[in-house]
Each structure stands twice: as structure tokens, then as C-alpha cells.
């Protein structure tokens, strides 16, 4: 990974008499941030180095955030704290996307070892570089394809240094969509050809097929993002715990959506598989429910994963999707589709039978590749009527 030597320096105790009057202010609005000059053309593997003038309480380092500005979701980070130099290296677990703008934010919950907070939360925007179609790692290969899918491109040509068929393969697209479910608004398959060269490199030419036009998919994505922000603004407030946010969003989706029964007659529209179907049309199937939950929870600051597996019914199994939610460092299964059952009377009801279950409970009628997802063992936030 490349790393710029220039860092961001935050002062914890200078002018403390002034900070004493300001450190408890809210940082929820733009005006309360100290804004650093933004950076552009940032490498997608960028490691940020943040220098401090005092030792940091390591338990508060998670007050350093990186947020995707397009949809306000938090990026999963890892931290390396150098106690000797009073610095923190901040990197992403999955890398940044090409051509996107992010904000790195230092919230006022960050403290020094003597309990002092930073005087003012700090923010800096940065934009990553345009996609590189000559790649020398799987991470860059993944990011190049992800960029094409995110922008609904139908053709992509990637030059691969030191090509091998194990790492550089077309089914990376499926992995990208599973890990980034709101990237898909009509993906309908892909084909690729490989041209190998004597120096060990190769060219992969990819043709991507979609159900809709690029303009239609961009519109679906924009409307979904806009609606999600509206829902979060109306539903969520800063005093709510992550559990309360999850419960509110679960109830919103279940109360404002219906399962698309056209799936049983094989005439279901593609949009019912997306969050657009649930958020805009009010109808969808399991993947639409799970994608809507994924978007809303992450936008609300609650880590949520999209899970692909099977629903089990007697001796049969059907493809199914649901979520995992992280609350207080523990993961739980959440299946809002099955909590919004189809009733004989047509009456709209909400249940909580699949709200924050353990692996053991979920495996009674669900199956999934356990190697791909975190373990869910806690029952602390399993729904019991009140928590």
C-alpha cells in the first residue's frame, strides 16, 4: 500500500480554556466541524496517518470514521496505533472505490489517555483516483470491475500484470454484487475473453448485460438513495441506540412493503429484486427486502451485511437473502422478509420471529456458507418484546 507522508495533526489540549467551553457541542451538523482542505486523486489503497500531540486512549480510536459521501454509509476500517509516535494509521479493510468522494471524520469522542477530548470534531473530504485498467493485484481488479458495475458500463477491458486464472476470473462479479448489493439495478450476466501474452500478462475483455438502459438504472439508483435519506431523516435521531434504529427500520420496511407474489407465476419484474422495488414501488422479494435493509441500516450508521443462502421448508430449499446486523461488536441474523409474512386474509402484519437470531436458531430453516460470514452467537439483542 502507498502512503503519503503528509498527515493530519489534531491538538487535544492546546487552548484548553477555549476548548473546555466547546468540546461538548454536537458534531451532527456541518458547521461544527473544523474542515481541512480536501485532497483529490487519492489512491484506492490509501493509508491515512493522523498525528496527535498526546497519547491516545486506544478504546476511543473508533471515533475516527470514513464515510462514503454518496450515501452516508460508514466504511469498514482498521487502525494501527503507534504509541511511541502518537499516531494512528487508518486504512480500509476492502479498499476505496475508484472515482468516489469520502469524508474522513474525527469525532469528539476521541480522547487522550488523561481523558481529554479533542476540542472540535474534524473533517476532510477526499476523492479517489479514476479507475486504473492496468492492474497488478486482485484488489485493483475487483475495484475496476466494481467501478464499471457501479456506473452501469457494459464493456470493460482490463490489463492484468502477472495473470493467473485462480484470482482473475469473471465470477468476481458475483462476489462484488453480494458484498455491495445496492450496486445492482439490472445486472443480467456477463461474458469475458482472455488474451494471454508471453510476459505473463493478459487482457480480459468483459461484456456486461443489463435488463434496463443505463439511464433507467441511474434513475432507479438515484431515486432509491433519495428515498432512503428521506426515510432516515424522518425515522432516526441521534439519541437512538443501534438496536432502536434497527427495530425502527425493520418495522418501517415490514409496514410499507408487500411481498411480490408475481414470483409464483414467473412474471416478476427485475426491479422487485432491488431496493428500488421495496423503497419506491413498495413491493419486492427477499433480495429487495434485504437490500433495502442493507441500505437503510448502513445509512443510519448500523453495520449491516447482505447474506445469500437458502430458505428451508420441509425437504425443499429455495434461494434466499437476508441480513446480518452488528450491535455492540456482536452479529445477529435478521430476516425482514420472513417477518413480513403473506397472510390468507391479506392483512398486513409484522412479526419478530427472525429478529436478531443466533446461527443455531437460524439454521433451523436457513442455510448459508458459514465461511463467508461472521458467527452469530449472542442473544442479548434477540427480540423479546422490549430490550
Domain ranges for the chain: 8-128, 134-210, 214-368
Q: Which helix (H) or strand (E) holds 16?
A: helix 16-19
Task: Return d(Cα 178, Cα 321) in angstroms, integer.
Answer: 10
Asked if the model's pLDDT at residue 15 lies above 50, the reply is no
Whether 348 and 258 have beta carbons less than 8 Å apart is answered as: yes
Write down the pLDDT at residue 59: 87
Architecture of domain 134-210: 2-Layer Sandwich (3.30)
Which grid cell sits at 350? 409484522
The DSSP line for 78-118 is: EEEEETTTTEEEEEESS-PPTT-EEEEEE-TT-BBTTSPBP
Which residue shows C-alpha cell 456486461? Answer: 208
Q: Which of the four CATH numbers 3.40.710.10, 3.10.620.30, 3.40.718.10, 3.40.30.10 does domain 214-368 have? A: 3.10.620.30
On whether the 8-128 domain is CATH 2.60.40.1220, my answer is yes
Whether 375 and 359 have beta carbons less than 8 Å apart is answered as: yes
Write down the pLDDT at residue 343: 60
Residues 6+ apart with CB under 8 A from 253: 278, 289, 292, 293, 296, 336, 340
Q: Residue 346 — pLDDT band, cuts 50, 70, 90? A: low
Share in percent of the chain as helix, strand, coil (round to 5): 30, 30, 40
Write down the pLDDT at residue 36: 86
Asked if the model's pLDDT at residue 1 lies above 80, the reply is no
Asked if the model's pLDDT at residue 250 lies above 70, the reply is yes
Write down the pLDDT at residue 54: 85
The more confident residue out of 67 and 73 is 67
Whether 233 and 178 have beta carbons less than 8 Å apart is answered as: no
Write down the pLDDT at residue 385: 67
CA 286 to each of CA 7, 188, 260, 272: distance values in angstroms, whole numbers, following the listed order: 44, 18, 9, 9
Mean of all residue pLDDT scores within the chain: 87
Q: What angle is formed at CA 328 by the lines to CA 19 and CA 112, rounded to 5 degrees?
A: 25
pTM equals: 0.76
Asked if the model's pLDDT at residue 177 lies above 70, the reply is yes
Asked if the model's pLDDT at residue 29 lies above 70, the reply is no
The DSSP line for 147-191 is: HHHHTT-SEEEEEETT--TTTS-TTHHHHHHHHSGGG-SSEEEEE
Which grid cell sits at 68? 462514503
Task: Return d(Cα 235, Cα 229) in angstroms, integer.
Answer: 10
The more confident residue out of 132 and 261 is 261
Select, from the ranges 32-36, 51-55, 92-96, 98-102, the one with the highest average predicted confidence (pLDDT).
98-102
Whether 228 and 279 have beta carbons less than 8 Å apart is answered as: yes
HSE-up of 53 (CA within 13 Å, CB side)?
9
Residues 6+ apart with CB under 8 A from 132: 98, 140, 144
Mean pLDDT over residues 149-176, rounded?
95
pLDDT digits (tens, 9 = 90+) for 205-234: 999 999 999 999 999 999 999 999 999 999
Task: Return d(Cα 358, Cα 238) in angstroms, integer.
Answer: 28
Select, from the ranges 46-55, 102-111, 277-286, the one with the highest average predicted confidence (pLDDT).
277-286
Residues 6+ apart with CB under 8 A from 383: 247, 352, 355, 356
Write down the pLDDT at residue 23: 30
Write down the pLDDT at residue 27: 32
Amino acid at each position: 500500500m502507498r502512503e503519503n507522508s503528509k498527515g493530519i495533526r489534531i491538538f487535544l489540549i492546546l487552548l484548553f480554556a477555549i476548548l473546555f467551553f466547546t468540546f461538548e457541542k454536537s458534531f451532527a451538523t456541518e458547521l461544527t466541524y473544523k474542515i481541512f482542505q480536501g485532497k483529490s486523486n487519492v489512491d484506492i489503497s490509501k493509508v491515512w496517518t493522523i498525528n496527535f500531540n498526546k497519547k491516545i486512549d486506544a478504546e476511543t480510536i473508533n471515533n475516527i470514521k470514513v464515510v462514503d459521501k454518496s450515501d452516508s454509509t460508514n466504511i469498514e476500517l482498521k487502525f494501527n496505533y503507534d504509541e511511541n509516535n502518537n499516531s494512528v494509521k487508518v486504512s480500509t479493510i476492502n479498499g476505496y472505490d475508484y472515482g468516489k468522494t469520502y469524508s474522513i471524520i474525527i469525532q469528539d469522542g476521541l480522547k487522550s489517555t488523561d481523558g481529554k477530548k479533542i476540542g472540535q470534531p474534524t473533517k476532510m473530504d477526499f476523492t479517489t483516483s479514476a479507475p486504473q485498467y492496468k492492474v497488478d493485484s486482485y484488489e485493483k481488479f475487483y475495484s475496476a470491475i466494481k467501478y464499471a458495475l457501479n456506473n452501469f458500463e457494459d464493456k470493460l477491458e482490463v490489463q492484468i500484470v502477472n495473470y493467473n486464472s485462480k484470482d482473475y476470473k469473471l465470477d468476481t462479479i458475483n462476489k462484488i454484487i453480494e458484498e455491495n448489493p445496492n450496486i445492482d439495478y439490472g445486472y443480467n450476466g456477463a461474458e469475458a475473453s482472455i488474451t494471454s501474452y508471453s510476459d505473463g500478462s493478459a487482457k480480459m475483455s468483459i461484456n456486461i448485460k443489463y435488463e434496463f438502459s443505463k439511464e433507467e438504472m441511474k434513475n432507479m439508483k438515484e431515486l432509491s438513495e433519495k428515498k432512503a435519506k428521506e426515510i432516515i431523516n424522518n425515522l432516526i435521531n441521534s439519541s437512538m441506540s443501534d438496536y432502536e434504529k434497527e427495530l425502527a427500520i425493520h418495522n418501517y420496511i415490514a409496514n410499507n412493503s408487500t411481498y411480490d407474489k408475481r414470483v409464483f407465476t414467473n412474471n416478476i419484474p427485475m426491479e422487485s429484486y432491488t431496493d428500488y422495488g421495496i423503497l419506491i414501488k413498495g413491493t419486492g422479494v427477499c433480495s429487495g427486502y434485504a437490500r433495502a435493509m442493507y441500505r437503510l441500516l448502513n445509512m443510519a450508521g448500523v453495520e449491516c451485511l447482505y447474506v445469500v443462502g437458502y430458505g428451508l421448508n420441509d425437504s425443499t430449499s429455495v434461494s434466499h437473502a437476508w441480513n446480518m446486523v452488528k450491535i455492540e461488536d456482536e452479529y445477529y441474523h435478521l430476516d425482514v422478509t420472513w417477518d413480513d409474512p403473506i397472510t390468507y386474509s391479506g392483512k398486513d402484519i409484522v412479526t419478530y420471529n427472525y429478529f436478531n437470531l443466533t446461527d443455531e436458531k437460524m439454521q433451523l430453516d436457513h442455510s448459508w456458507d458459514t465461511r463467508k460470514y461472521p458467527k452469530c452467537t449472542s442473544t442479548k439483542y434477540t427480540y423479546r418484546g422490549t430490550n
